[in-house]
Structures are given as C-alpha cells and as structure tokens.
Amino acid sequence: MKKNLFLLPTLSAGFFVLISITCLWEFYNWRPKRLRFIDYISFPNFHVKRDFIDIHFTGDEEKDAIKFSFAQLSVQEIIENADTLHGVHFSYGDSSTYQSLIHTFDLLYAARAQCYQCDHAEIWFFYCP
C-alpha cells in the first residue's frame, strides 16, 4: 500500500519535469519564421548585378528631407520601368533618427516594393520580376 502512495507523486513529478524540459527545449531552439539570412538565400547575388544609388541619412532634417524626396522618385522610377539593373541603397549614420528609418519603410510600402533587404543600418531596395 505504501508503494502506491509513493508512486503517484513520483509520476506527477516525473511528468512535470518532462513537460518542463520539453518547454525549455522549445524555448531555446525556437526560431522565427523568417530569418535574416533567408533573404541571402532567396536573392543570392542581388548586389552583384545591380548598380545601386547610395542614399545616406545623417540626421540633418533638411538634407534628409531632400534625400528622401530623391529616394522616393528613384524607387518609383525603378518600379515603373521594371528596372532590374538599378536599385537604391539606404544607409543610416550614427546621428540619424529612427523617424528616417520609419519613413523609408513607409516609402517602400507606399510604392508596393516587393524586394528589399534589411541589414544592420542599411536597406537595399531592388526590383525583382
């Protein structure tokens, strides 16, 4: 009779440990659905065959507004002409604002850009058919 009383807490503790280990395993081995390097796999040589226009945001609001307008025209022109030879390279300096990054994403969303790649402080936009 004593063995049956001891068996239930032991099994309960064993199941708890097993479930805890499973949850921890899933937590530590979880990966997002889209990894950063998936863009490199999908577009392996995107920057080799294209000529990119470099646009560097510095944090100066007036100059950044002019650069943003130029970038907007460049992105629209590339999409309208289905230009597979050119692209736009957005880069952000240390003093650039988060607002300039958000404006760039808004620009790409408004232009219905399908192919762009984000890297640490850079966004590479290109047209893909």
Q: So where are the chain's domains?
A: 1-30, 38-126
Which tens digits make up the pLDDT trace of 100-120? 889 999 999 998 888 888 878
Contact 53, 17 (CB under 8 A): no
Q: Is the pTM of this model over 0.85?
A: no
Which tens digits make up the pLDDT trace of 21-62? 877 777 666 654 444 444 444 555 555 567 889 999 998 989
As given in the structure block, the two tokens for residue 19 are 């479930």
Q: Torsion angle, CA of 67/48/123/105, rounded to 10 degrees?
A: 80
CA-to-CA dists, residue 75 to 5, 61, 64, 124, angstroms? 73, 20, 16, 11
